[in-house]
Amino acid sequence: MTQIIHRSCPTCEASCGLTMEVDRERGEVLSVKGDPDDVRSQGYVCAKSQAFHHIYRDPERLRRPVKRVGGDWEEVSWDEALDAVAARLAAVRDEYGKDAIAMYYGNPNGHNFHTQIYTQLFIGMLDTERFFSAGSVDQQPKNLSSELLYGNAWLFPVPDLSRTDFFVCMGGNPMVSQGSLLGAPDVGREFAALRERGGHMVVIDPRRTETAAVADQHLFIRPGTDALLLMAWVHELFARQAVNIGALADRVEGLAALEELARPFTPEAVAPRTGVPAAALRALVDGFAGAQRPVLYGRIGLCTQAFGTLASWLVDVVNLLQGRLDEEGGAMFARPATGQNESRGEPQPLQHGRWKSRARGFPEYMSMLPASCMAEEMECTGADAVRALITVAGNPVLSVPNGKRIDAAMDNVEFKVALDIYINETTRHADYILPSTTQLEHSNYDFLFAAFAQRNFARYSPQVFAPEPGAKHQHEIFVELLARMNGMSASDLDAMMLDGLVDSVLPALEGVGKEQVLAASAHHEGGERLLDILLRVGPYGDRFAAGGEGLNLDKVKAQPHGVDLGPLQPGVLPQMLNTQDGCIRLLHPLLEADIARLAAALDEPAPVLVLIGRRHIRDMNSWLHNLKNYARGADRCTLYMHPDDAAGRGIADGDVAEISSAVGRLAVPVEYHDGMMPGVVSLPHGFGHRYPGTRQSTASGQLPGVSANDLVDDDALDLPSGTSVVNGVAVEVHAQP
Ligand SMILES: Nc1nc2c(c(=O)[nH]1)N[C@H]1C(S)=C(S)[C@@H](COP(=O)(O)OP(=O)(O)OC[C@H]3O[C@@H](n4cnc5c(=O)[nH]c(N)nc54)[C@H](O)[C@@H]3O)O[C@H]1N2
Ligand SMILES: Nc1nc2c(c(=O)[nH]1)N[C@H]1C(S)=C(S)[C@@H](COP(=O)(O)OP(=O)(O)OC[C@H]3O[C@@H](n4cnc5c(=O)[nH]c(N)nc54)[C@H](O)[C@@H]3O)O[C@H]1N2
Ligand code: SF4
Ligand SMILES: [Mo]
């Protein structure tokens, strides 16, 4: 029998609403379409909306644990696999210490509510100093900037696209990525509406991107120089006496020191490095100042570069200095129903530098070491050796700089386990692979991305198909491993989670006791019970008042198209700030030290040719390539080159050329692209499905491509945050003989 189910797409941050026609008995998805009644996306979907049910169906996806036997794989029972893995991990920990276990955490974890809520438990109990994640090839500079400015590493200002009249986009390509840290289904519609109401849109990017194509103006910038451009913008604001903070003025500290630090960065001084003429920058500053509701937005191109933290921080500073932070049409703060953006009362000290990596002594940030340090840590020997590696929904061999070195270093590690659903470039090394259920087999809640969405909303997604008997959800795998490693029962650990959560919310619930919280949420199970509690304590919650107003999970579940909680509100930041004494301190020694490094960079010679990345609408990092409907079409793993750069090197359109960097060398087809800034070439990441022993025959057969990360130098880091520099990599390109 066919049934209609509404849920959100778990593939990217937009989290579009879907209408799925399914036959539950036969486990078949008959169609997936945009849900016209979804409170946010109103029917919009992109080409990847079909991805997750094809993943569910993919015959090469793992459904049961596998164990490596020589060069082959053998299916084993869950009990056998969990017992064996837990025993080995516990033995390593007991003999060599907790830091002999390394762990890498990948991006899909962020799209699964249950995994997210159990993550703290898993990471906390493993407690390894060798913890790496995709975050340090992504948003970690923004985390650091937010932690320094607002006291909450996950409190990100989002550009209020529906009300701005002047939108400046740097280092993001939302027309393809569908928006990141700005949560908007159908951003194309937002941009069209902006222009229809007479607004103006500027894109600053080393490539004339798909987003630049729908903007009023595009400015080329040399990769990695955004912090220089933005410091010059700040310089201009002080020089023009145009700093006007507005409502937050009383809370901002450090203006005089910032003015002093910005002094050397005049538009003329930075122009030779940025490639943006001083007059063009001044015109941009004029345009922004002359608009009613301007806003500046920066994304991954600003994070994963040499001055990622400074550039990310300066985006907020530029908005703040012009009164555009926490204001309508400016950079605003979402208020997710699960409460993670609310002030937590007690300011926490900055989590930075509490320990260092063994090999290069790089400081930890947010309990993590840079993913770019992973290979060298696995190369350590003796007392510092990594003896076991856990990867959780991640593919660092393709997604992390110098992936070939990671691939080789994995051979040094005696025991490896992957919590993953495919045998791919990374997991092929594992001794055991423990595959979780996939998205259709569990419920979901749009948790992380509601914290930086364009509108406040709450959205529950029901489970579509019952998992195969015995199959495990990711968080169950976490719990079962921890239980076995620590001689506890899984139910003890679940009880610990519930207890910890209830204790943490009680102080915010005057007059409500623990018993009441437990009784009122008792009809929900597992992670859903935790979700119910978070919703009820959150800013729209019913606060456990029976029959009262306010949200709880039952009410959210009753709204299959999502609950609209209204547009973002101005003036919410003071209640969200978590800094000492409630002030926004503009500067911090980490930033000041990096501004000195930035000043020194003004005089350094620039490489002749540099590499940047790009994304394609049908890709999602490295992991959708095994789906036939996304593997079709022309090769998209090509090197975009400006025709002059290519012709000058004797390379014709379509030729296979050799590209080399400090760490690697690849042969790749060149595609002429007059939208490239001269001196800049572009290659997408997530390809390179060429390793033996994987089980993704469509990926390796139909679009293997090459891995951009075989060219990216793992030595190069944004120093304050430890984020990989994947944009602005010095390369050479030669015609092949
Ligand atoms: N050069 C360059 N490198 C980059 C970037 C770039 O722009 N340029 N971007 C970076 C960014 S932003 C990111 S987020 C990272 C991504 O880096 P990663 O997260 O390491 O890589 P992915 O390719 O997303 O790998 C996802 C893995 O999760 C598995 N998986 C998918 N769904 C599930 C599931 O439901 N359960 C389990 N257990 N496993 C699952 C897949 O099989 C795959 O192995 O890449 C980064 N790397
Ligand atoms: N289709 C698709 N969508 C995705 C993903 C995907 O792989 N495919 N990945 C998802 C993930 S994990 C993330 S984190 C988001 C990322 O979302 P976005 O940040 O929008 O990602 P990109 O499309 O890589 O855009 C980065 C832009 O920065 C530019 N750039 C590179 N270097 C510089 C520089 O030095 N300065 C400036 N100003 N610009 C620079 C690039 O040319 C590119 O246009 O996308 C998500 N959405
Ligand atoms: S934009 Fe596409 S991939 Fe992203 S949530 Fe919407 S349908 Fe899914
Ligand atoms: Mo990402």
- Reported as type and span, the H/E element at residue 74 is strand 72-75
Architecture of domain 605-735: Beta Barrel (2.40)
The amino acid present at 597, given as its one-letter code, is R
Average pLDDT estimate for 559-581: 96
Q: H helices within 17-139, ranges in order? A: 51-57, 78-96, 113-126
Dihedral angle computed from the Cα positions of residues 10, 14, 19 and 25, in that order, rounded to the nearest 10 degrees:
0
Judge whether 129 and 364 are in contact, CB under 8 Å.
Answer: yes
How many whole angstroms separate alpha carbon 721 and alpha carbon 351? Answer: 11
CA of 504 to the centre of ligand 1 (A): 32
How many whole angstroms separate alpha carbon 666 and alpha carbon 661? Answer: 9
DSSP 8-state class, residue 347: P
Cβ of residue 133 lying under 6 Å from some atom of ligand 2: no
Average pLDDT estimate for 650-665: 98
Question: What confidence category does residue 737 fall into, taking pLDDT thresholds of 50, 70 and 90?
Answer: confident
Judge whether 442 and 528 are in contact, CB under 8 Å.
Answer: no
**Quick one: what percent of the chain has pLDDT higher than 70?**
100
Q: Identify which of 39, 297, 289 has the alpha carbon closest to the alpha carbon of residue 158.
A: 297
Average pLDDT estimate for 92-117: 97
Res. 322: pLDDT tops 90: yes
Instruction: Please list, in sequence order, all residues whose beta carbon lies within 8 angstroms of the beta carbon of residue 59, skipping any fewer than 6 positions away.
Output: none
Q: Find the distance separating the first CA and the last CA of the chain, reported in whole Å.
A: 62
Q: Which CATH superfamily is 157-332 part of?
A: Dimethylsulfoxide Reductase, domain 2 (3.40.228.10)
Interaxial angle between packed helices 474-486 and 78-96, expressed in degrees from 0 to 180 and rounded to the nearest 10: 50
Nearest ligand 3 atom, CA 49? 7
Dihedral angle computed from the Cα positions of residues 353, 355, 358 and 361, in that order, rounded to the nearest 10 degrees:
20
Q: Are strands 331-332 and 158-159 parallel, antiparallel or unpaired?
A: antiparallel
- Give the pLDDT of residue 630: 87
Q: Identify which of 78, 11, 24 has the alpha carbon closest to the alpha carbon of residue 436.
A: 78
Structure tokens at 106: 């990948």
Res. 345: pLDDT tops 80: no
Q: How does pLDDT run across 392-432, given as a tens digit for each residue?
A: 999 999 999 999 999 999 999 999 999 999 999 999 999 99
Domains 157-332 and 605-735 share a fold: no
Cβ of residue 178 lying under 6 Å from some atom of ligand 3: yes
Pocket test for ligand 3, best of 45, 54, 615, 630 (most atoms within 8 A of CB): 45
Residue nearest to atom 5 of ligand 3 (CA): 15
Res. 339: pLDDT tops 80: yes
Q: In this structure, how many other beta carbons lie within 10 angstroms of the beta carbon of residue 216?
A: 15
Instruction: Note the ligand closest to the C-alpha atom of 620.
Output: 2
Q: In this structure, how many other beta carbons lie within 10 angstroms of the beta carbon of residue 274?
A: 24
- Reported as type and span, the H/E element at residue 258 is helix 255-262
Q: How does pLDDT run across 265-278, given as a tens digit for each residue?
A: 999 999 999 999 99
Q: How does pLDDT run across 599-643, given as a tens digit for each residue?
A: 999 989 999 999 999 999 999 999 999 999 888 888 999 999 999
What residue ranges do the domains of the chain occupy?
A: 157-332, 605-735
Instruction: Please list, in sequence order, all residues whose beta carbon lies within 8 angstroms of the beta carbon of residue 640, skipping any fewer than 6 positions away.
Output: 207, 614, 671, 673, 675, 676, 681, 682, 683
Interaxial angle between packed helices 113-126 and 526-537, expressed in degrees from 0 to 180 and rounded to the nearest 10: 100
Q: How does pLDDT run across 281-314, given as a tens digit for each residue?
A: 999 999 999 999 999 999 999 999 999 999 999 9
Nearest ligand 2 atom, CA 138? 14
Question: What confidence category does residue 594 fall into, taking pLDDT thresholds of 50, 70 and 90?
Answer: very high
Pocket test for ligand 3, best of 42, 48, 617 (most atoms within 8 A of CB): 48
Structure tokens at 705: 């491509």
- Give the pLDDT of residue 85: 98
Average pLDDT estimate for 244-264: 97
Cβ of residue 397 lying under 6 Å from some atom of ligand 1: no
Q: Are strands 415-419 and 388-392 parallel, antiparallel or unpaired?
A: parallel
- Give the pLDDT of residue 348: 82
Res. 133: pLDDT tops 80: yes
CA of 662 to the centre of ligand 3 (A): 36
Pocket test for ligand 1, best of 205, 621, 713 (most atoms within 8 A of CB): 621
Instruction: Note the ligand closest to the C-alpha atom of 106.
Output: 1
Cβ of residue 709 lying under 6 Å from some atom of ligand 3: no
- Give the pLDDT of residue 113: 98
Cβ of residue 474 lying under 6 Å from some atom of ligand 1: yes
Q: How does pLDDT run across 155-195, given as a tens digit for each residue?
A: 999 999 999 999 999 999 999 999 999 999 999 999 999 99
Cβ of residue 140 lying under 6 Å from some atom of ligand 2: no
Q: In this structure, how many other beta carbons lie within 10 angstroms of the beta carbon of residue 558?
A: 9
- Give the pLDDT of residue 693: 96
Look-up: residue for tokens 């937009």? 14
The amino acid present at 234, given as its one-letter code, is V
Instruction: Please list, in sequence order, all residues whose beta carbon lies within 8 angstroms of the beta carbon of residue 622, skipping any fewer than 6 positions away.
Output: 395, 398, 399, 424, 425, 685, 686, 687
Average pLDDT estimate for 220-230: 98
Instruction: Note the ligand closest to the C-alpha atom of 12.
Output: 3
Cβ of residue 138 lying under 6 Å from some atom of ligand 1: yes
Q: Mean pLDDT of all residues in the chain?
A: 97
- Give the pLDDT of residue 402: 98
Structure tokens at 324: 């555009």
CA of 727 to the centre of ligand 2 (A): 10
How many whole angstroms separate alpha carbon 46 and alpha carbon 34? Answer: 9
Judge whether 235 and 283 are in contact, CB under 8 Å.
Answer: no
Cβ of residue 10 lying under 6 Å from some atom of ligand 1: no
Judge whether 67 and 431 are in contact, CB under 8 Å.
Answer: yes
- Give the pLDDT of residue 580: 86
Instruction: Note the ligand closest to the C-alpha atom of 423.
Output: 1
